Amino acid sequence: MGFPGATADPASAAYVVVGAPLDVSTSFRPGARFGPRRVRTFAEPFEDFDRRTGLRFSGLGVADAGDVRAWDDAVEYLEFLQAELAAVAAADAVPLVVGGEHTVSVAGVRALEPDVVVCLDAHLDLRESYDGNPYSHACTTRRALETADEVVLLGVRSGSEAGWARADEPDVTVVPPEAVADWTPAFDPDASVYLSVDVDAADPSVAPGTGTMEPFGLEAVTMRDVVRAVAPAASGFDVVEVNDRDDGQAAALAAKLLREFVFSHAAGRAPAAD
């Protein structure tokens, strides 16, 4: 099934959903390969109309290109996924990636080459490698910084000692969970931005269906407000790390945040009325 309301032709769409079910480096509870399917499923009951923006999701030119089937070589998979996402961007559409483990964000960042990556996440993910693997999901932010000039991490409450030392460098900003509600974007108007949402940024009481739960996290409304604030400046979006280990709470949150991104992006880019 496609993402509900994503009925546009991918060749002429303004937004394209791309499933990326990579699940090779999850270090605790696997199952992120089921994320794209579950996010689509738990989006089914949502109303098409959004009262806040006055827009209908089905009227915003959203297409679903299906999943980019994953295999066990993460490096090759990221190269293939990067090419797919670059083609979406080259067609003047915004890619909406649904993971899959957080490693898939590397492909999105490389495809779009943003100046700034904004990431909702429980973890720094700044390791150079994890168990000898530089493409582990624990290294996503480190790999993103090989392309982007700056990373803003919102909701982080876990990281290695070396990761925290790397986070002290000027190209990384960390906003702890208790300060996220008061955070507002302050991007250069000409900066390109990529928004990544790791669903484990949420408190486990909100979204238990994820691979590496970390208590003392964000409420759903706080995550929604971040997505709404960043979306108008963003050229790409992903939501990752949803698995099949709950009753759909994480998938429903991920699906709703994807829709919030589209509504806010479309409303923010709409021409002003005369």
Would you say 99 and 36 are in contact if contact means Cβ atoms under 8 Å apart?
yes
β-pair partners for 50: 55
Please give the structure tokens belonging to residue 261.
């991104």
CA–CA distance, 220 with 155 (Å, rounded to integer): 12
| Chain segment 158-183, per-residue pLDDT in tens | 999 999 999 999 999 999 999 999 99
| All domains of the chain in start order, with CATH | 10-260 (3.40.800.10)
CA–CA distance, 67 with 70 (Å, rounded to integer): 8
Tell me, what's the pLDDT at 185?
96
How many residues in the chain?
274
CA–CA distance, 153 with 102 (Å, rounded to integer): 14
Neighbours of 23 (CB within 10 A): 23
Helix, strand, coil in percent for the chain, rounding step 5 = 35, 20, 45
Tell me, what's the pLDDT at 271?
54
Tell me, what's the pLDDT at 1?
80
Neighbours of 219 (CB within 10 A): 15
Residue 273 pLDDT more than 80?
A: no
Residue 274 pLDDT more than 80?
A: no
Q: What is the pTM of this model?
A: 0.96
Would you say 17 and 64 are in contact if contact means Cβ atoms under 8 Å apart?
yes
Residue 272 vs residue 237, higher pLDDT: 237
| Chain segment 198-256, per-residue pLDDT in tens | 999 999 999 999 999 999 999 999 999 999 999 999 999 999 999 999 999 999 999 99
> What mean pLDDT value characterizes the chain?
96
Tell me, what's the pLDDT at 122?
98
Tell me, what's the pLDDT at 270?
61
